[in-house]
Amino acid sequence: MKLMFVSDIHGSAYYCRRVRDIWQEEMPQRLVLLGDLLYHGPRNDLPKEYAPKECIDILNGLKSEIIAVRGNCEAEVDQMVLQFDCLADHILMYLEDREIFITHGHIYSSSNPPHLKQGSILIHGHTHIPAMQDMGGFYYINPGSVSIPKNNSSHNYMIYEDGTFTIKDIDGRELMSYGIVDK
């Protein structure tokens, strides 16, 4: 299975188009959105080409491909315009017999983890900073932000394929990876 993870689009039509183009190039089975899709939030500057209505059209065009969780910038009005579920606080899935807890990061995070089984993986966005870190009992992965990166990080997304999570910049350069098979 191949999955593409994207976090923190924040209403940037430019980066939303890039996500769509990368999705078409990478050809994953699903696009996993880690929240903060349409609104830039009061703590962020406006992202490049801030146009939430254009993002709505782009994302709705991929509705059958998307799995999404709610970010701290999502509201019920977002669910009224998006044609896929976007208000779940978290999703639990299994990859290679590993429990994967997927959330935005504003409720559960690496510093406030949910109750996880030994060896589980916590994936969240929210910080806009990419990370792959052994937390002693679980592994933490954050692809960073596709539109508003912080701490001098690049505009990123993540691919899961063949038992490995790989964070890439939007030009496709591999930045870091973590294999979950035999861990």
pLDDT for 38-61, tens place per residue?
999 888 889 999 999 999 999 999
Positive or negative torsion for Cα 15, 21, 26, 27: positive
Alpha helix locations (H) across the chain? 13-26, 52-60, 76-81
Reply yes or no on whether the pLDDT at 163 is more than 60. Answer: yes
Across residues 73-94, what is the average pLDDT?
A: 97
Residue 182 confidence (pLDDT): 60
**Distance between CA atoms of 32 and 67, rounded to whole angstroms?**
5
97: number of Cβ within 10 Å: 8
Mean pLDDT of the chain: 96
- Provide the pLDDT for residue 43: 85
- Asked if pLDDT for residue 127 goes beyond 60, the answer is yes
- For residue 137, the model assigns a pLDDT of 94
| Averaged pLDDT for residues 60-79 | 97
Mean pLDDT of 60-70: 98
Give the per-residue pLDDT at 41.
85
CA distance 88 to 85: 7
Q: How confident is the model at residue 90 (pLDDT cuts 50, 70, 90)?
A: very high
Q: How far apart are CA 144 and CA 113, in angstroms?
A: 18
In the chain, % helix, strand, coil (3-state, to 5) comes to 15, 30, 50
Query: Is pLDDT at 171 greater than 70 in this prediction?
Result: yes
At 144, the amino acid letter reads G
* Nearest of 105, 33, 111, 31 to residue 72 by alpha carbon: 105
What the chain holds in terms of domains, given with CATH numbers, is 2-179 (3.60.21.10)
88 CB-contact burial (10 Å; exposed 0-12 / middle 13-18 / buried 19+): middle
pLDDT, position 44:
84
Query: Of all residues in the chain, what percent carry a pLDDT higher than 90?
Result: 94
pLDDT digits (tens, 9 = 90+) for 7-18: 999 999 999 999
Per DSSP, the three-state class of 165 is strand
